[in-house]
Amino acid sequence: MTSTVHVPILVEPIVRALIEPFEALTDDAPAHWLVDFTLGGGGHTAALLEALAGQPRLARHRVLALDQDPQAIERARTRFAGELAEGRLEIQTRRFSEAEDLLAQRPILGMMADLGFSSDQMDTAARGLSFQAEGPLDMRLDPTRGRSCREYLTQVSEAELARILEEYGEERFARRIASALVQRRRERKLPTTTKELADLVVHAIPAGARHGRIHAATRTFQALRIQINEEMNELDCLLGRAILFLKPGGRVAILSFHSLEDRKVKQAFRGDREELPPFKPLTKKPLEADEAETNRNPRSRSAKLRVAEKTGSQGETAHRSR
């Protein structure tokens, strides 16, 4: 396999949790599937494939990997050419909200989603996801659909922008930043690049807050990435529809990087949503990367992993909520 700069997070506990239900299957059980909803750099997919191949009695089971990012799909088709040819892996371009037709076609005993952006995505300047390098103000995972960030900023109201920055970025200076952006828009000087937007944010907040533990524009970029890619709506589709296709006894593992995401996952897993069949949380508190992993991969510091098992009888299906 070809290498990738992406380093997957909390691989061991994810693989351990998702493989256990497969180990409990009888030897004459038909092939079941693991679904990686966020293929990204392919790290978790590779680990799941390796875990299945590592036990002869599990080698018949398969992995379905999805992603909305066409570049991630293209890289993965090269990286996993052998696994695709052997039929051990299937790769499809899908958002969470577009996956039901694929999920309904197969018995699924494991699901996972990494709600963060991969290093491949963040470090590609042309995507405009990060201010670490100069790039166009785009931020779309799939550049063929939806509005770019700059297009969004030309249309959004000041009040709505402030709400997005506060809710999705937990930005305490959301109103000041929104006001500064709208003022630039009136002056026809709206930022066109990531660096220009980051500079605007820095100058919009009080001088004493410009040199904190993280860059002053971090929360603004986080909020805009979430908004542009409709991440919260997609997460609701994952938790409200997609995980219903999991067989009873199957498990779902979700990595989140934002308190709002983690709260949604926690509520879904503990049964706060009446429309969902019962899930049993297997992580009372979210698992986090240890010091060794955070030293190797600083992006793992904010990751929170929750795992749950679908309970109920084998007769339950996704049709319950229809």
Per residue in 91-138, pLDDT (tens digit) is: 999 999 999 999 999 999 999 999 987 666 666 777 767 888 889 999
CA 248 to chain centre: 24
Note whether residue 53 is domain-resident.
yes
> How confident is the model over 227-232, as a mean pLDDT?
94
Return phi, psi of residue 190, to 5°. Answer: -60, 135
Number of structural domains in the chain = 2
Is the domain of 67 the same as that of 94?
Answer: yes
**132 part of a folded domain:** no
Asked whether residue 216 carries a pLDDT value surpassing 50, the answer given is yes
Question: Do residues 197 and 191 make contact, with C-beta atoms less than 8 angstroms apart?
Answer: yes
Q: How many CB atoms lie within 10 A of CB 249?
A: 16
Q: By residue range, what is the domain housing residue 204? A: 142-228
- Assess if residue 170 is contained within a domain: yes
Is residue 65 located within the same domain as residue 148?
no
In the chain, the percentage of residues whose pLDDT exceeds 70 is: 91
For residue 46, is pLDDT > 80? yes
For 75, other C-beta atoms within 10 Å of its C-beta total 21
How high is the mean pLDDT of the chain?
90
Residue 55 lies in a domain: yes
Identify whether the C-beta of residue 318 lies closer than 8 Å to the C-beta of residue 292: no
Evaluate if pTM is beyond 0.95.
Answer: no
Closest CA to 189 of 146, 150, 225: 150
pLDDT over threshold 60, residue 315: no
Say how far residue 166 (Cα) sits from the centre of its chain: 20
- Per-residue confidence at 29, pLDDT binned at 50, 70, 90? very high
In a shared domain, residues 269 and 218: no
Q: Which amino acid is at 134?
A: E
Task: Give the model's pLDDT for residue 157.
Answer: 98
For residue 91, give the 3-state DSSP assignment: strand
For the residues 29-43, what does the mean pLDDT come to? Answer: 96
Give the end of a domain, one of 189, 207, 228: 228
As a whole number, mean pLDDT of residues 203-231 equals 92
Look at residues 228, 259, 290 and tell me which one is the last residue of a structural domain.
228
Both 107 and 147 in one domain: the answer is no
Percent of the chain at pLDDT > 90 equals 76
Assign 203 a pLDDT band (cuts: 50, 70, 90): very high
Question: Are 103 and 26 in a shared domain?
Answer: yes
Give the domain CATH number at 303. Answer: 3.40.50.150
Residues 86 and 100 in one domain: yes
Structural contact between residues 252 and 245, judged by C-beta atoms closer than 8 angstroms: no
Task: Give the three-state DSSP class for 217.
Answer: coil
pLDDT value at residue 319: 36
Q: Is the pLDDT of residue 35 over 70?
A: yes
Cα(291)–Cα(190) distance, rounded to whole angstroms?
41
Residue 273, pLDDT above cutoff 60: no
pLDDT at 264 over 60: yes
pLDDT tens-digit readout, 147-166: 999 999 999 999 999 999 99
Tell me what pLDDT residue 316 has: 43
pLDDT computed for residue 101 by the predictor? 95
Residues 104 and 252 occupy one common structural domain: yes
Q: CB–CB of 258/218 below 8 Å?
A: no
Mean pLDDT computed over 7-26? 95
Cα-based distances in Å from 296 to 7, 14, 39, 42? 9, 18, 21, 18
Mark whether 167 and 105 lie in a shared domain.
Answer: no
Q: Which pLDDT belongs to residue 212?
A: 82
Same domain, 243 and 220: no
- Same domain flag for 310 and 238: yes
Q: What is the mean pLDDT of residues 50-58?
A: 96
Q: Specify whether 178 is located in the same domain as 238.
A: no
Residues 218 and 245 grouped into a single domain: no
Domain membership of residue 137 (yes or no) is no
Last residue of a domain, one of 228, 246, 272: 228
The CA–CA distances, whole Å, from 78 to 39, 71, 100, 297 equal: 13, 11, 26, 25
Looking at residue 189, which CATH number applies to its domain? 1.10.150.170
pLDDT in tens, 289-300: 999 998 888 888
